[in-house]
Amino acid sequence: MHSHHNALGLATAPTGTARGVEIAKGRPVQPVTLLRPHAARRAARYFVEKFPGTSMYAVKANPSPELLGILWDSGVTHYDVASIAEVRLVSATLPEATLCFMHPVKAEEAIEEAYFTHGVRTFSLDTMDELGKILRATKGAADLNLCVRLRVSSDHSKLSLASKFGAEPGETKELLFAARQAADALGICFHVGSQAMTPAAYAEAMERVRAAIVEAAVTVDIVDVGGGFPSVYPGMEPPPLEAYFAVIHNAFESLPISYSAELWCEPGRALCAEYASVLVRVEKRRGDELYINDGAYGALFDAAHVGWRFPVKLVREEASETREMAFSFYGPTCDDLDHMTGPFMLPADVAAGDYIEIGMLGAYGCAMRTGFNGFGSDLRVVATDEPMATLYADEERPAASNVVTL
C-alpha cells in the first residue's frame, strides 16, 4: 500500500496525519523529527524472516543508539560498521552483536583496535596492500573472515558506488588466492549501489562473483551481496523486496561454493528509511519556492546534493481544497547551496506559517545533520502512525496512535 501524499487531504491521507497536526498546533520554531519505532521493527522482522541468509544492518545509514536497540530486539544480530567510531558505538550499545568491518580501506590502528578490543573478526578488502595491513594489525591472526570486495556495476542504482571500491577483474585471482591462504573463512562481497531499482542488479553482480570464483579456483565460505535494497520515494517505486530476495537466492544456490557457505546482505536504507520523518515550518513563500527551517545542512542533504525527492504532506487542521503544484525548497542557512530542487508536490495555497511533513528521512537524513550556521534541532517525538510510504504495510498493523515526547 502506498499512502497518498496528496495533502488534498488530511481527510483522505492515511491515519496519523493527525499526529503531525497535533504537534504543529504547538507552533514549534525548530524542525521536529517524528520517530516511528514500529516501522523500523517491521522492516527488521521482514529481513530477518524473509531474506534467505543473514541480514547485517549498515550502521552508517542511521547510527542512533535507539534504532540499534530496536533492530537488535527485532532479531538483527550482525552490524556492518565502517569506521572505528561505529565499531565503538555498536560494541558499547549492543555488546553481543557480531560486528563486520566492511570498509575496504582502513587505518591499521582501527583494524588493531577492532580486532583486539572489540572482537571484530570480519574485515573486507579490495587490494593486496589492505590484506597485508589486516594481517599486520591482527598479528597474523588465524580466525579471520576476509571478504574480498569486487567492483560491480551501479547502472541499475540511483546512487553509484562503483568508482571508489572494489577489485577489478584482473586483480581478483591473486587477491582471492592470497586471502584464502590467510583466512579462516573466505568471503566475496560487492555493492550494487544505493537504491537499486531492479533485482537484475544482483543477478549481474552474482555473475561477476561466479567468474571470480571459477578463475581463482578457491573455496568460498561467505557471499555478501551488500546493500542497495530500495525504499519507496516519489517517482521511485521499486518491485517488492521478495523479488530481490528470490533472484539473490537463486543465484547463490547455483554458485560453485562450499555446501555450508553463508549468504549475507547489508541493508541500510531499507531498514531505517521509514523510521523517521521531519516536520518543518514554511518561513517564507516566493512564487513556487518555499523557505523552510531544515535543509541541505540538516536532514535534507540528499534532496539538495543528489536531487532526491522525498514524500511531502501539508500538515493543517483544515484540509486544503486547492490542487497541487510543484515547489522547490530553500533551507534556513545563508548559503545558496541550501536548495532542494524537488519537485515537491504540495497544495497551491501553502503559505508562510504552514507546516510540512517530509517523509522517509530515517535513512541518511538523521545521520547527515550538521550545526552549520547555527541551525539544527534535536526535538524528537515518537509517533505510532504509518510512515508516508512503506514496502512493508501488509506485515502488521500498528497500535492506535499516540505521541510520546522523548
**pLDDT beyond 50 at 406:** no
Residue 201 is predicted with a pLDDT of 94
**pLDDT beyond 60 at 14:** no
Residue 395 is predicted with a pLDDT of 55
Please determine, looking at this structure, whether the domain spanning 17-36+273-405 carries the CATH number 3.40.47.10: no
State the Cα–Cα distance between residues 98 and 25, nearest whole angstrom. Answer: 44
Mean pLDDT of 254-267: 96
Write the class of the CATH domain 38-272: alpha beta
Q: Residue 325: phi, psi to the nearest 5?
A: -140, 170
Residue 112 is predicted with a pLDDT of 98
Residue 306 is predicted with a pLDDT of 79
pLDDT tens per residue across span 351-362: 999 999 999 999
Residue 336 is predicted with a pLDDT of 84
Mean pLDDT of 178-184: 97
**pLDDT beyond 50 at 363:** yes
Residues 18/401, Cβ–Cβ less than 8 Å: yes
pLDDT tens per residue across span 98-156: 999 999 999 999 999 999 999 999 999 999 999 999 999 999 999 999 999 999 987 87
What's the pLDDT band for 376 if we cut at 50, 70, 90?
Answer: confident
Residue 249 is predicted with a pLDDT of 98
pLDDT, the chain, mean: 90
**pLDDT beyond 90 at 375:** no
State the Cα–Cα distance between residues 88 and 124, nearest whole angstrom. Answer: 18
Domain coordinates in residue numbering, the chain: 17-36+273-405, 38-272
State the Cα–Cα distance between residues 18 and 11, nearest whole angstrom. Answer: 10
Return all residues near 129 (Cβ < 8 A) that are at least 6 apart.
none
State the Cα–Cα distance between residues 201 and 199, nearest whole angstrom. Answer: 5
Of 267 and 400, more confident: 267
Cis peptide preceding 343, ω within 30 of 0: yes
Residue 190 is predicted with a pLDDT of 96
**pLDDT beyond 90 at 405:** no
**pLDDT beyond 50 at 404:** no
Q: CA neighbours within 13 Å on the CB side: how many for 371?
A: 2
Percent above pLDDT 90 for the chain? 73
